[in-house]
């Protein structure tokens, strides 16, 4: 069966960390920007780039998360998040970890989907979970409107953890952690990448050519940047600068969920999996990629736009 002409909201995501139903009743503005990523694929990096392009200055008066709230996360009551966004007078850029089949769609809204090699995502996700304070889960439970179940403990063995994580990719189970399912997440956008209001962005391309990708994003968002401003905006978006300003730029810093904010910007590198994952894990990974993704998407996820062009 062919896909509908435009994306449809056909699936509900209810997880320990987030609920896609928090989008219910939200009113878009015609120039809204949705930053749509699986966890640990460059979300905060893309939020920072959007902030730099919109405000065209390198110093922010407030934490980044206050300019660009995460709609889905259960760390605040949803009416508070909606009110915060309603009160914003600047062009809104909203973070979401909900796949496209769980999001409301508008032709007037810009959607930026960011992908990354799933093997790198897994290692970054491991560091991310270890850095989160246990108290954050209790806050999520208190703000949940659906049945809430805590996450299963992660296996001590890294190989076992990876095998379970990649094997569950593209799951339709009700308690499936869709925000960390890179394959399904990116695939929901990939099917509609031809639409003029959907941009596919890749972590590796940002690392390889930050200025070029920032200019590409600016063009997609119809934002004009004076040529003289580009060097300082690009420098402000560098990994090193963002790590140095982790107390202001790390996500949810206002909710006190991190043991160490600077650890959120851990290494920012690619290919660490080569020294970590064994033959069994890589065999299963390749099998899952071949079975569940079209070849072009699988190649893009691993290498990015510039290497597959």
Task: Cite the active site residues.
Answer: 97
* Helix ranges restricted to H, 209-276: 210-220, 230-236, 239-244, 246-249, 261-264
Tokens of 159: 């190989």
- CA angle, residues 61, 238, 123, in degrees to nearest 5: 110
User: Closest Cα to residue 35, out of 93, 104, 105?
Assistant: 93
3-state secondary structure of 147: coil
Phi/psi of residue 110, nearest 5 degrees: -95, 130
* Distance in angstroms (rounded) separating the CA atoms of residues 201 and 216: 9
State the Cα–Cα distance between residues 134 and 143, nearest whole angstrom.
Answer: 15
């Amino acid at each position: 069966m062919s896909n509908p002409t435009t994306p449809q909201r056909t699936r509900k995501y209810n997880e320990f960390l987030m609920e896609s139903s928090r989008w219910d009743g939200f009113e878009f503005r015609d120039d809204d920007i949705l930053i749509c990523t699986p966890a640990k694929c460059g979300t905060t990096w893309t939020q920072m780039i959007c902030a730099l392009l919109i405000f065209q200055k390198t110093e922010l008066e407030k934490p980044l998360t206050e300019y660009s709230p995460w709609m889905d996360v259960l760390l605040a009551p949803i009416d508070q998040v909606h009110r915060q966004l309603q009160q914003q007078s600047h062009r809104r850029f909203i973070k979401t970890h909900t796949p496209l089949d769980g999001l409301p769609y508008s032709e007037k809204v810009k959607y930026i989907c960011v992908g990354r090699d799933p093997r790198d995502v897994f290692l970054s996700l491991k560091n991310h979970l270890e850095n989160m304070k246990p108290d954050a889960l209790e806050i999520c439970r208190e703000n949940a409107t659906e049945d809430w179940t805590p996450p299963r403990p992660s296996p001590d063995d890294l190989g076992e953890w990876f095998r379970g994580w990649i094997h569950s990719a593209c799951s339709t189970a009700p308690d499936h952690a869709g925000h960390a399912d890179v394959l399904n997440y990116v695939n929901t956008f990939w099917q509609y990448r031809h639409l003029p209001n959907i941009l596919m962005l890749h972590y590796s391309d940002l690392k390889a050519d930050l200025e070029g990708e920032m200019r590409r994003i600016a063009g997609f968002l119809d934002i004009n940047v004076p040529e003289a401003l580009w060097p300082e905006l690009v420098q402000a978006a560098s990994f090193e600068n963002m790590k140095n300003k982790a107390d202001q730029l790390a996500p949810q810093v206002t909710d006190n969920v991190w043991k160490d904010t600077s650890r959120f910007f851990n290494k920012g590198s690619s290919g660490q999996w080569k020294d970590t994952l064994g033959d069994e894990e890589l065999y299963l990974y390749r099998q899952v990629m071949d079975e569940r993704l079209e070849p072009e998407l699988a190649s893009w996820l691993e290498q990015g736009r510039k290497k597959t062009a």
